[in-house]
Amino acid sequence: MIQSTVDVKQYGINAQQYLLSQIFSNPDLYVRCKNILKPEYFDKTFHESIQYVHDYAAKYSSSPTLKDIEVKGGYQYDQYEVQELHKQSVLDTCGEFCRHKALALAVEKGMELVHQKKYGGIEELIREAMLVTVQNELGLDIFENPEDTIRSLSTMQGSFKSGWETLDYKLFGGFGRRELEIFAAASGGGKSVVLQNLAVNFAKAGMNGAYISLELAEELVAVRIYGMMTESKLSNVKNEAEKIGFAVKVEGKNSGMLRIKRLPESVTTTDDIESYLRELQIKMEIKLDYVCVDYLDLLTSNRLGPNDKSNTFTKDKFVSEELRALATKMDLTVFTASQFNRSGMDEDKKSQSQIAGGISKIYTADNVIYIEARKETGELWFDFQKTRNSSAVGSRLRMSYDIDSLRVLDHATTVQQMETEGNGFRHSGVSKIGGGNMALPPSTMQTLRHTLSGAAKPPSIQPDNTVTLNTDSAPDSTTHNEIQNPQAHAGTDRVHAMKQWLNQRK
């Protein structure tokens, strides 16, 4: 076997002593290198002196003299004044040396992870080692190539389509990559439903992702997604497993990968999620585009101290910051959810202060959207509380919500309104449009008013289940009761008007 002597020749004790002498003799070089100048990268002979220089610089904001290092740091370095033209060479040598040693240490730690069968952490160790370098980037020059800068921003922002064209239009194109998106609702108010619908939309668009469930069982999440994917009632999904299973397999042939992972609530950290995602990427040999975390409030952080365990504000601040950092490190978009606090459940008008755990999450997130589910009308409303890249804050968006399949779609009324406003929006027709409940029975309050006034009880109007959206033909659903009752007839006219508008668009 041929043994490499690169480490012996280039990075022996003499080479290390010469490199450190150059750096410590020139304070401006030390300032550029100190972030990667870790004692463990060097021979034990130099550990004490390197640590002394770091401690001195941190305390006094300047570098010690070579005599200080000799007397208090325990090692005598030679004086080398590096000329300006040669300083970049020293910086490059330092970066290469530290990266080489970081990789060597990563390999050693990686072997321990192999024995523990924690494969997801190996990629992270190697990635961090490869990032060890001297900082030479001086930032973006705003006057150099502004056209490229504008195009680069355009590819980052609004490039992640939600699958709902009306929502994407509100967000100036969609979500952005490497962002943290938070949806908030009351308990049972549709948080999981929205995250699962997004996962379905992304899978249908061919994107690869994972769904982290901290509350619901993997099987329950999967059955819900099957219903959304095939637009079937959940009862049918459970009772017609073979039929639904075949439909899902057919759908999967043209879809991106979607994995559901159940992790324990209250003890799972962002590090646990990152480890799982990296292991998933390695084993499946794919690049993940997104992760849905259901939901933020059930995560914890390794940064919490003994006195922070009961501090919800601090916990949520740490968790949201770590989720956004995860999006940046893994080059994906993180979607998660949060609950309203007690005031948010009671008040009709929503505000940022009503999110559970305090406003710390909103500071970190790129988009914060509140959810209001109206099952009686088959509608789900998005209330935009924060957006970094659009002017949607303060506005609301009506979506169609099928309470049987839990499928959320663009609402036909919203599409019609946005198209007729003349602001340039035009639905492509590729994604489906829903209509909510077109005709509704009288509410309990209406019935009560008729009873108290002595009036006859209004006839019950059954929902029009024969309305077919996105089709060229829709059956006539006019009934005898609708002819007898003007209010019912008006509701039917609205149904026919909506069907006519949809059919004209095709």
Please check whether residues 417 and 473 belong to one and the same domain.
no
Q: Which DSSP letter does residue 175 get? A: B
Whether 145 maps to a domain, the answer reads no
pLDDT interval class at 202 (50, 70, 90): very high
Whether 136 maps to a domain, the answer reads no
pTM beyond cutoff 0.75: no
Please check whether residues 190 and 329 belong to one and the same domain.
yes
Name the residue with tokens 């200080």.
68
Contact 354, 347 (CB under 8 A): yes
- Tokens encoding 183: 């949806």
Please check whether residues 111 and 86 belong to one and the same domain.
yes
Whether 121 maps to a domain, the answer reads yes
The pLDDT of residue 138: 62
Please tell me the distance from the alpha carbon of residue 491 to that of residue 150, in angstroms, as a whole number: 48
Closest to 170 measured CA to CA, from 390, 12, 340: 390
User: DSSP letters along 111-168, please?
Assistant: HHHHHTT-THHHHHHHHHHHT----------TTS-HHHHHHHHHHHTT-B--S-HHHH
Of the three residues 375, 395, 427, the one that is the final residue of a domain is 427
- Domain interval for residue 194: 154-427
* Pairing between β-strand 333-339 and β-strand 408-411 as defined by DSSP bridges: unpaired
Please check whether residues 268 and 380 belong to one and the same domain.
yes
Condensed to tens digits (0 to 9), the pLDDT of residues 263-313 reads 998 889 998 999 899 889 888 889 999 999 998 989 998 888 777 767 788
Task: Report the percentage of the chain scoring pLDDT > 70.
Answer: 77
Q: What is the CATH number of the domain that holds 22?
A: 1.10.860
Contact 207, 161 (CB under 8 A): no
Please check whether residues 242 and 198 belong to one and the same domain.
yes
Whether 161 maps to a domain, the answer reads yes
Q: How far is CA 186 from the centre of its chain?
A: 20
Q: Using the predicted structure, report yes or no on whether residue 53 has a pLDDT greater than 80.
A: yes
Whether 471 maps to a domain, the answer reads yes
Whether 289 maps to a domain, the answer reads yes
Of the three residues 398, 427, 456, the one that is the final residue of a domain is 427
The pLDDT of residue 441: 41
Q: What is the mean pLDDT of the chain?
A: 80
Please check whether residues 112 and 230 belong to one and the same domain.
no
Residue type, 42: F
Whether 140 maps to a domain, the answer reads no
Please check whether residues 312 and 416 belong to one and the same domain.
yes
Q: Using the predicted structure, report yes or no on whether residue 128 has a pLDDT greater than 80.
A: no
Number of domain units in the chain? 3
The pLDDT of residue 303: 84
Please check whether residues 176 and 239 belong to one and the same domain.
yes
Please check whether residues 274 and 235 belong to one and the same domain.
yes
Please check whether residues 449 and 494 belong to one and the same domain.
yes
- Select the more confidently predicted residue: 342 or 202: 202
Please tell me the distance from the alpha carbon of residue 181 to that of residue 360, in angstroms, as a whole number: 14
Please check whether residues 111 and 163 belong to one and the same domain.
no
Q: Using the predicted structure, report yes or no on whether residue 432 has a pLDDT greater than 50.
A: yes
- Tokens encoding 443: 């509410």
Q: What is the CATH number of the domain that holds 341?
A: 3.40.50.300
Please check whether residues 363 and 291 belong to one and the same domain.
yes
- Select the more confidently predicted residue: 347 or 109: 109
Whether 149 maps to a domain, the answer reads no
Of the three residues 400, 427, 454, the one that is the final residue of a domain is 427
- Tokens encoding 410: 């663009």
Query: What HEC string does 254-298 produce?
Result: CCCCEEEEECCCCCCCHHHHHHHHHHHHHHHCCCCCEEEEECHHH
Condensed to tens digits (0 to 9), the pLDDT of residues 15-50 reads 999 999 999 999 888 988 888 889 999 999 999 999
